[in-house]
Structure 1
Amino acid sequence: MSESGVVPGTLDTMRWLWTPAWIARHVAMVVLVVGFLGLGWWQISRATAGNSLSWGYAVEWPVFAGFVVYVWWREVKLARRRAQGDAVADSAEVPAVEPAPADAAGSRPAVRRPVRVARVPAAAAGAEDADLAAYNRYLSWLNANPGARPGDYPG
């Protein structure tokens, strides 16, 4: 048994799949799959009764059910990777591993933290653009004369 009380290779390692949020996801997946397969069966019964358009829907509903299973399975895999990543990050005895080269066959690019770039002003504070100064004077005049129209500007 490990220090956390979780025995590797047992269902204890999958305990995170039984949180209330995950139970809701499991129930939603089962309800959607059963509902979509039921709708597919209903379309088959309509198609055999003579509605030829229902043959397309009879194929479409099971495809929707398969898509729901695919999305659910992918979310489980992603959550498992996150849980394993958190466990590795929390473990003090895990040695640092150098990342694999990005050009290795079958490797995925690493997701890195965003880079912050310091913004440098385009012009020095003392040097002012003539067009900018004229525009600022125009705005000051509009602010001082709230009822004036732009065509009334004397500048």
Structure 2
Amino acid sequence: MNRLWTPAWIARHVAMVVLVTGFLGLGWWQVSRAAAGNAISWGYAVEWPIFAGFVVFVWWREVRHTLRGRAETTDAPGQASAPAGTPADAPTRPVVRRPVRVARGSAAADGAEDGDLAAYNHYLQWLNDNPGAKPGDYPG
């Protein structure tokens, strides 16, 4: 529970209270405008409490995520523990894997260059050798 009382979390708690109070206040303001005859304000009177509910939903989800993250790294009975070989205080993070590169065709496997690739490399070499030239000036 102490994890929710760091300076960053205190700022999140304050922001949640300010946003919810502000959104509900704006909703009440729209209700008063709608009661005065502004028909479109009825729609806004419904939207502002929904925005406040969304702020509470995100805040509650982050609180649960933070508390759940701490529970996974402790070795209390009935709770999940960190994988074997990792320190107890190390945060668990998803593994990032690199993509697998597969050579296409037998030409790439044999080391021979593709005809289109060779032509493109020749074009790039020509552009490099002629820095002031335009691509339309290429003789090939």
TM-score, reference length from structure 1: 0.64
- Of 107, 113, 119 in structure 1, the residue corresponding to residue 95 of structure 2 is 113
* Alignment gaps of 5+ in structure 2: 85-92
Matched, 1:135 2:106: no
1:47 paired to 2:29: no
- Alignment size in residue pairs: 125
- Which residue is 1:9 aligned to? none
- 1 or 2 for the larger relative contact order (CA 8 Å, sep ≥6)? 2
Q: What is the distance in 2 between the residues matched to 1:142 and 1:15?
A: 62
2:58 matched to 1:71? yes
Q: Shift of the alpha carbon at 1:140?
A: 2.6
Query: Residues 79-90 of structure 1 correspond to what in structure 2 (within 5 A)?
Result: 79-88=66-75
Residue of structure 1 equivalent to 2:87: none
User: How far does residue 142 in structure 1 lie from its aligned partner after superposition?
Assistant: 3.2
In the TM superposition, residue 126 of structure 1 has moved relative to its aligned partner by: 4.4
Bigger fraction of residues in helix: 2
TM-score (norm 2): 0.70
Matched residue SS, 2:74: helix
Q: Which moved more, 1:136-145 or 1:55-64?
A: 136-145
1:140 is paired with a residue whose SS is helix
C-alpha distance 133-23 of structure 1, shift in aligned 2 (>3 A): same
1:4 matched residue in structure 2: none
- Say if 2:14 is the partner of 1:32: no
Could you tell me which residue of structure 2 aligns to residue 6 of structure 1?
A: none
Superposition deviation, residue 81 in structure 1: 0.8
Deviation of 1:80 after TM superposition, in Å, equals 0.9
RMSD: 3.1
**1:21 partner letter:** A
